[in-house]
Amino acid sequence: MVLPAIVGSILGSMAAVNISDGLFQIILAITMVVTIFFIVWDPTKRSGKEMNLSLNRKALGALLFLAIGFYGGFIQVGAGFYIVLTAMFIFQLSFIHANSVKVLVTGAYIFVSLLVFGLNGEVNWWLGLVLALGNATGAWIGSQIIMSSQTKWIKWILFATVLVMAARLLYEALV
């Protein structure tokens, strides 16, 4: 699962480096609108019965992880959803195992993607460090909130935020 995602990430990162900012904003806005579907729909409501997989199913999974890697290297927004969905519905992993796969695959392809962007001079390392620290802090706070089981309102805040961001990106790209 990791290798196809890494190859896809390299291709997606190279594509992102070579397109115009306006086109990237339009693609990102469309992607965010699609992501809203996954905010509303809860894919975790499946049994997680692990089973032996056919060669065809493994090949399909490899192709999907190649596509997810491309998407992750190109945009990244919501790639974790697609990894979890593929791991659960194609590879028949439980939600917990699918999230473990998500962490491994995401870490691998983001590292490679960062190299591609860095070698092309597209990384502000100082700002990236500040954002990484903010991301880690937010993840810790988020995990504390989730552990308190008071999370129903978060879905709707995320829904509204993604919708507003998508509208803003489209407006900026088209005006």
Q: Give me the pLDDT at residue 150, please.
A: 64
Residue 135 lies in a domain: no
- Reference 77, options 121, 18, 36; nearest CA is 36
Cβ distance 78 to 102 under 8 Å? no
What would the pLDDT profile of 11-65 be if each residue is shown by its tens digit? 999 999 999 988 888 888 888 888 777 667 665 555 455 567 788 889 999 999 9
Residue 145 lies in a domain: no
Tokens read off for 140: 């810790």
Mean pLDDT of the chain: 85
How many domains does the chain fold into? 1
Residue 54 lies in a domain: yes
CA distance 152 to 140: 18
Cβ distance 26 to 173 under 8 Å? yes
Quickly state the pLDDT bin for 78 (edges 50, 70, 90).
Answer: confident
Region at 149 (left for phi over 0; alpha for psi -120 to 50; beta for the rest): left
CA distance 72 to 74: 5
CA distance 116 to 122: 9
User: Average pLDDT of 61-88?
Assistant: 90
Cβ distance 35 to 140 under 8 Å? no
Q: Which residue has the higher pLDDT, 149 or 108?
A: 108
Q: Whole-prediction pTM value?
A: 0.73
Q: Give me the pLDDT at residue 30, please.
A: 85
Q: Which residue has the higher pLDDT, 67 or 29?
A: 67
Expressed as residue numbers, the domain containing 18 is 2-123+153-174
Residue 144 lies in a domain: no
Q: Give me the pLDDT at residue 115, please.
A: 94
Q: Give me the pLDDT at residue 145, please.
A: 74
Residue 51 lies in a domain: yes
Tokens read off for 130: 């500040």
Q: Give me the pLDDT at residue 49, please.
A: 58
What would the pLDDT profile of 123-138 be if each residue is shown by its tens digit? 999 999 999 999 899 8
- What share of the chain has pLDDT > 70, as a percent? 89
Residue 128 lies in a domain: no
- Is the pLDDT reported for residue 120 higher than 90? yes
Residue 132 lies in a domain: no
Tokens read off for 124: 């502000």
